[in-house]
Amino acid sequence: MYYYYLYYYCYYCYCNYYYYNNNSYYYYYYYYFYYNYYLFYYYYYYYYYYYYYYYYYYYYYYYYYYYYYYYYYYYYYFYYY
């Protein structure tokens, strides 16, 4: 998905280059960097929240197996002793 959007925006800017080439070369650069600027912040916040929820997902399962481990630890402890 990430590479697909990168390809789409690059292709979009590439097409706009040929479309606005006869009109203005400066306008092409403005258009190009404007969309890359938007693309940068879009994926920045996208991956920021992605790793944010991934961190708490990992954090949750870490404590899940942590208490799971001690549950069986005390279970075998009282079983054998």
For the chain, which residues make up each domain, given as ranges? 2-80
Structure tokens at 13: 């800017």
In this structure, which amino acid lies at residue 8? Answer: Y
Tens of pLDDT, residue by residue over 42-51, are 777 777 787 7
Tens of pLDDT, residue by residue over 26-40, are 444 555 555 556 666
Q: Which residue has the tokens 């080439």?
A: 21
* Mean of pLDDT values over 55-67: 80
Burial of 16 (0-12, 13-18, 19+ CB in 10 A): middle
CA distances to 64, 79, 80 from 1, rounded to whole Å, are 31, 51, 53
Q: How far apart are CA 81 and CA 71, in angstroms?
A: 15
